[in-house]
Amino acid sequence: MACSVGPNFVTPQASLQNNWREAGNPAVKTNREDQQRWWENFRDPTLNQLVNVAYAQNLTLLEAGTRVIAARALLGEAVGELFPQSQQLNGTATYLQPSRTDATSNPNEAISAKQFWRVNLGAQATWEIDLWGKFRRGVEQADATYLASIATYDDVLVTLVGDVSSNYIQYRTLQAQIVIARANVAKQRQALDIARSRFKGGATSELDVYQAQNVLAQTQSTIPQLTAQLRQTQNALGVLLGMPPASIDGMLATPRGIPSPARNVAVGIPADLLRRRPDIRAAELKAAAQSAKVGIAAADLYPAFSLGGALGTLVSTTNGNKLSELFTSPSLTFAFGPSFSWPILNYGQITNQVRAQDAELQALLTDYKNVVLNAQREVENGLSGFLQGRQQVAYLRISATAASNALTVAIAQYQLGSRDFTTVLTAEQNLYQAQNALAAAQGNVSVNLTMTYRALGGGWQIRQGNDFVDDATRAQMRARTNYGDILPPASQRQPPTPGLPGPSDAGPTVRSPQW
């Protein structure tokens, strides 16, 4: 019975904590909840629309989808190695008319006909018996690589959804900050008018006017900076949506505030990351593919046994045959027999190839553990930012309210002459800083919640039931190359891949392509 040399892949044990550090917070729920469309928790129709457009049109995601198609084709190629291979198929057809003046073209007048035909057809095929599992390991490697390409596609999708959400929240935050700046400009202009009136009336010096102009200009200077950041964020959204920046003006035209975060966040337990996060699945599958490559290299240390055969047919009219006899038994020739090869003199070179492949496997096993650790770090960071940010927002609300009241009192006292203008200036600066900080903190809370969901690995599930490339790309590829069943027409949808998602993605050792 044939065996498979090389290691059988086993998922390494990664360090996982039992629960999250913030699990005791009332806002953190450790039960499993559906996070397939987590961005809908912000209850913002514009954000929902942007995510849908990005999924349909993002070019980086489309590139990842085409790489899935390539991995499918390579899997089919690996499966084909298990079966007999045609080495050569040839044929010749020759027409000859002997020369009447050159005897060498018809010595001793052996050819009596004035012209003749000669037809020769032949084919050779070999089948290398997979005693050591070289080709089965090849299928195993291609299978894991194919599934890893799907996990990589899912990881790109998770990143895309997170980036769209974060940039949109930043866009709305900048809009809110611009509104705050303009409102404070209006307040500071009123204070400037009061200072001018008191100066003209002789109640104060012109110093108050200059100080008021200074604070006003500083606040006004923030608006161009915020506007530039707003445009840059919009440009980033355009790239994520696969559209020129100006094309998304209509989607962002409806005025909306900063997306409000949900009151609670369901994070499950750390072990759920192994099931949900596609980058962890991709790291595991890449290690599984490399494990198979160790076996492929190790198989070259052993002799390879093959069965070969040749079949041919030859007819010529020189001996009275007819072309119609080309496929009859008298014209047929065939040969069949075993053979083996063993590159024993290359033993040292092959051994070092095995060592190199095994060292790469060890590196990927270590990388898998590192990916798991980083996944937990990202969740913890997102949770901490979300929960601590909510407390910061609560304090900043109190600060902004107090600063607004302080400005009202300061202006009233200044008009009465019981306070100097420095008190008004300080109150104006404090109000703008408090309101601007409050808007930034509110945006950060929502961004940190986005980071948490992204770290939890949600969002890739929206591709289930859909193809990895859009209809236009499929039509373009099929018009250029015959993809057969690897890339079905638009009317023929691809069934879901067995075993996805989860640690069982490795699949059986040998299987036909599952499209």
Q: Would you call 91 helix, strand, or coil by DSSP?
A: strand
Predicted pLDDT of residue 494: 52
pLDDT at 485 over 90: no
Predicted pLDDT of residue 389: 95
Q: Is residue 403 part of a domain?
A: yes
Predicted pLDDT of residue 108: 53
Percent of the chain whose predicted confidence (pLDDT) is above 90: 47
Same domain, yes or no: 312 and 396:
no
Q: Work out the average pLDDT over 275-288.
A: 92
Q: Is residue 473 part of a domain?
A: yes
Q: Work out the average pLDDT over 390-400.
A: 96
The single-letter DSSP state of residue 254 is S
pLDDT at 505 over 50: no
Instruction: For residue 230, give the H/E element and its range.
Output: helix 207-240
Same domain, yes or no: 435 and 329:
no
pLDDT at 34 over 70: no
Residue 117 C-beta-side C-alpha neighbours within 13 Å: 12
Q: What is the pTM of this model?
A: 0.86
* Average pLDDT of the chain, as a whole number: 84
Measured distance CA(161)–CA(52) in Å, rounded: 9
Same domain, yes or no: 321 and 270:
no
Higher pLDDT, residue 25 or 233: 233
pLDDT at 401 over 80: yes
Q: Are 206 and 443 in contact (CB under 8 A)?
A: no
Higher pLDDT, residue 15 or 310: 15
Predicted pLDDT of residue 323: 62
Residue type, 383: L
Q: Is residue 4 part of a domain?
A: no
Q: Is residue 11 part of a domain?
A: no
Measured distance CA(167)–CA(178) in Å, rounded: 16
Phi then psi for 88, rounded to 5 degrees? -160, 140
Q: Work out the average pLDDT over 411-429.
A: 91
Same domain, yes or no: 322 and 440:
no
pLDDT tens-digit map of 69-111: 888 888 877 877 777 765 666 767 666 666 554 455 455 555 5
Residue type, 106: N
Q: Is residue 511 part of a domain?
A: no
pLDDT at 125 over 90: no
List CB contacts of 342: < 8 A, sequence separation 6 or more.
302, 303, 304
Domain containing residue 329: CATH number: 2.20.200
Domain around 106: 88-129+305-341
Higher pLDDT, residue 496 or 501: 496
Residue that is written with structure tokens 């900063």 in the block:
258
Same domain, yes or no: 399 and 333:
no
Predicted pLDDT of residue 98: 60
Q: Work out the average pLDDT over 386-410.
A: 96
How far are the Cα atoms of 95, 280, 317, 358 from residue 107, in angstroms, in the given order?
Answer: 18, 77, 17, 66
Q: Work out the average pLDDT over 364-368.
A: 95
Predicted pLDDT of residue 326: 66
Q: Is residue 321 part of a domain?
A: yes
Q: Which of 73, 148, 77 is nearest to 477 (CA)?
A: 73
pLDDT tens-digit map of 287-331: 999 999 999 898 888 888 878 777 777 777 666 666 666 667 677
Phi then psi for 335, rounded to 5 degrees? -145, 150
Same domain, yes or no: 78 and 93:
no
Q: Is residue 431 part of a domain?
A: yes
Predicted pLDDT of residue 509: 42
DSSP labels, 144-198: HHHHHHHHHHHHHHHHHHHHHHHHHHHHHHHHHHHHHHHHHHHHHHHHHHHHHHH
Same domain, yes or no: 392 and 440:
yes
Same domain, yes or no: 309 and 299:
no
pLDDT tens-digit map of 334-365: 777 787 788 877 888 889 999 999 999 999 99
Same domain, yes or no: 34 and 117:
no
Predicted pLDDT of residue 166: 96
Predicted pLDDT of residue 22: 87
Q: Work out the average pLDDT over 55-60.
A: 94
Domain total in the chain: 2
Same domain, yes or no: 62 and 93:
no
Predicted pLDDT of residue 502: 40
Predicted pLDDT of residue 513: 40
Measured distance CA(9)–CA(148) in Å, rounded: 15
Q: pLDDT category, 446, cuts 50, 70, 90?
A: very high
Higher pLDDT, residue 493 or 30: 30
Predicted pLDDT of residue 85: 63
Q: Work out the average pLDDT over 119-135.
A: 77
Predicted pLDDT of residue 511: 44
Same domain, yes or no: 370 and 440:
yes
pLDDT at 247 over 80: yes
- Is 512 exposed, middle or buried (CB count within 10 Å of its CB: 0-12, 13-18, 19+)? exposed
Domain containing residue 281: CATH number: 1.20.1600.10
pLDDT tens-digit map of 194-223: 999 988 988 888 999 999 999 999 999 999
Predicted pLDDT of residue 507: 40
Of the spans 225-229, 242-246, 314-318, which averages the highest pLDDT? Answer: 225-229
Q: Is residue 212 part of a domain?
A: no
Same domain, yes or no: 274 and 394:
yes
Q: pLDDT category, 501, cuts 50, 70, 90?
A: very low
Percent of the chain whose predicted confidence (pLDDT) is above 70: 84
